[in-house]
Chain A
Amino acid sequence: MDGEILTEIRPIAPAFLGRSAGGEWTLLGRRCESCAEIAFGQDGDACQSCGSSTLIDVCLGDHGELWSYTVLRNPPPGNRRTTEPDRLPQALGLVEIGGAVRVMACIDVPVERLAIGMPLRLLTSELFEDSGVSVVGYSFGERQND
């Protein structure tokens, strides 16, 4: 409706981004009971490392470190409904979480500050609106060492 404030929020990928028990945004994953391997996302049927189907849903939390990165110099291709103008250059990185898993994400850090190993924290923002629902995506930003 015109002028109505959006109250309904939906993550862009509910198997990958959700809320912790405390209501905070968190990345989602699964831990294998057999080999303890952790995967990003709760969409698989079996552990990709050992094949076990005994998987436990876990929150991956909102902290990580930059394992590697690149800088996009052109707008990302494909069908994107984001209402935000593309910020270029835009960093893209692999964020290592808990020494267990590396997750791909946009890195909202000025290019000149990018450094492998830098502490990062999860950020969320509205990507676009879909039938009155605010669709939220994730990225990582700089975190002060704690």
Chain B
Amino acid sequence: MTEQRIFVAGVGMHPFGRFDGATPAQMGRLAVNRALADAGMSWTDIDAAYLASMYLPATSGARILKPLGANGIPISDVEAACASGGVALKQAMLGLASGEYETVAVVGVEKMPRGFMDPAMIFDAWQIEQGLAVNPSYWAMRAQRHMHEYGTTETQLAKIAVKNHANSVHNENAMYQKAFSLEEVLTSKLVCDPIRLLEICAPNEGAAAVILTKGRIKADSRPAVRIAACTQVLAEFSADWRAPMHSLSARRDDAVPPTTRAATRAFERAGLGVEDVDCFEVQDTDAFSELEAYEHLGLCAVGEGGRLVDDGVTDIGGAKPVNVSGGLISKGEPVGASHLGQVVEIVHQLRGEAGERQIADAKVGLAHVLGAAGNCAVTILQR
């Protein structure tokens, strides 16, 4: 399998948060320059670049990256809502695997307005007119149903937010870097019942860059980290509540969710199983989304996500640590950069460079994103 031979040469980030006055170009180039420095490379070593973003205008890839050196390499803009970074990474993998390129840069950049995401990005006018286009409401309805069917509690959801916020304290790239108590989370404002303000990610700004190359990296004493698999799927009919959002089948509750499909394929490609993964970075758009990811990735059976939380399995000291970076709940979600930010975190974990949030002897990490239209990507990294 050609994917076996693709290595991460370097990673870099512009922190996620709010940076008034900073342009997308400045943030993107900072991340790229940090990734190039991390790789010991220069822009002239790059054969092609992919720019992931949802909110930036046409040709943003060229606008952001060309000033690094107008050497005529192909620069492609990639958009797949919250999964944009994963889909860009997948395209980069295909470019390398095809033999067309030896070394590529994958860059995610975003600068989103404050507040709810612009509903016109993902909803029809008639849905917006009727007040149906409220992004968090869909996750909230899934959460409410899960609580009804399996007895999942608000406290269990809140514990996920407590965990992620606590993890972010040691992450200089996170937006909040602030621990909150269970009581603070449970008394924070309701946004869409049962989801509360401290349990939901903020759309924000930031950038992340990953340099991929074929073959082993020379003159690098650090553990070599390779992409063991990168898969992308779109939800099948009624396999996910995002597609189509306005009309869900009541007869297809057995449909395989996109996260399960993407992860199953990724594990097959990597020749690994969920039991081999030492750290997970998953789409915690809100606390319930993380709980659902546990179940759909196979960390536990459907309905047992709450128990997993109570048992501390996904805590930083647990058997299956999830979102030790702080997750999107604490980092915020600059959608184009989110998956690449997850990859940066896992690369640091696998190299043993994660400082106070280091997971001992981490060898395999999994990054997962899921968003509008059921766009889903899973990347497995291994050292």
Contacts and interface: CB of A to CB of B under 8 A. Distances in A.
Contact of A78 (B133, B192, B194, B237): B133
B101 interface: no
Contact of B134 (A67, A68, A77): A77
Main secondary structure of the interface of A (DSSP, over half): strand
A67 B145 contact: yes
A74 B248 CA distance: 25
Interface string A93-111: 1101101111111100000
A20 interface: no
Interface in A95-136: 96-97, 99-106, 116, 127-128, 135
B134 A76 contact: yes
A90 B131 contact: yes
Query: Which of A70, A86, A90, A96 has the most chain B CB atoms closer than 10 A to its own CB?
Result: A70
A73 B189 contact: yes
Nearest to B121: A78
B212 to A, nearest CB: 35
A13 B123 CA distance: 13
A7 to B, nearest CB: 22
Interface residues of B, number: 43
Contacts of B244: 39, 48
A106 B120 CA distance: 18
B192 A71 contact: yes
B195 to A, nearest CB: 8
Contacts of A38: 249
A12 B246 contact: no
Interface string B175-208: 0000000000000011111110000000000000
Interface residues of A, number: 48
Contact of B248 (A99, A102, A128, A139): A102
B130 A106 contact: yes
Contact of B131 (A13, A69, A86): A86
Query: Which of A12, A40, A86, A104 has the most chain B CB atoms closer than 10 A to its own CB?
Result: A104
B119 A116 contact: no
A137 B132 CA distance: 11
B67 to A, nearest CB: 34
Given A72-B192, A92-B132, A78 B120 contact: yes
Contacts of B195: 70
Given A39-B247, A78-B123, A70 B130 contact: no
A62 interface: no
B119 A78 contact: yes
Given A76-B134, A82-B131, A70 B145 contact: no
A123 to B, nearest CB: 12
B170 interface: no
Contacts of B118: 77-78
Contacts of B131: 72, 76, 80, 82, 86, 90, 92, 106
B144 interface: yes
B339 to A, nearest CB: 25
Contact of B141 (A74, A92, A97, A135): A92
Contacts of A48: 237-238, 244
Given A16-B126, A77-B118, A94 B134 contact: no
A49 interface: yes
Contacts of B141: 68-70, 92-94
B191 A104 contact: no
A107 to B, nearest CB: 11
Interface string B232-265: 0000011000001111111110000000000000
A12 B130 CA distance: 8
A116 B248 CA distance: 16
B250 A100 contact: yes
B148 A12 contact: no
A127 B191 contact: no
A70 B142 CA distance: 9
A99 B250 contact: yes
Interface of B: 115-116, 118-120, 123-134, 136-137, 140-142, 144-145, 148, 189-195, 237-238, 244-252
Given A68-B142, A71-B190, 18 more contacts: A12-B126, A41-B246, A48-B244, A70-B192, A70-B193, A71-B193, A73-B189, A73-B190, A76-B119, A77-B116, A78-B123, A78-B128, A94-B141, A94-B248, A101-B247, A102-B250, A103-B246, A127-B129
Interchain residue pairs A-B with the least CB separation, the first 4 = A40-B247, A70-B140, A76-B131, A13-B126
30 contacts: A12-B126, A12-B130, A16-B246, A37-B249, A37-B251, A40-B247, A41-B246, A41-B247, A67-B145, A68-B148, A69-B193, A70-B136, A70-B140, A72-B137, A72-B192, A73-B189, A74-B134, A76-B133, A78-B120, A78-B128, A79-B128, A92-B131, A101-B250, A102-B249, A103-B247, A104-B132, A104-B245, A104-B246, A105-B132, A139-B130
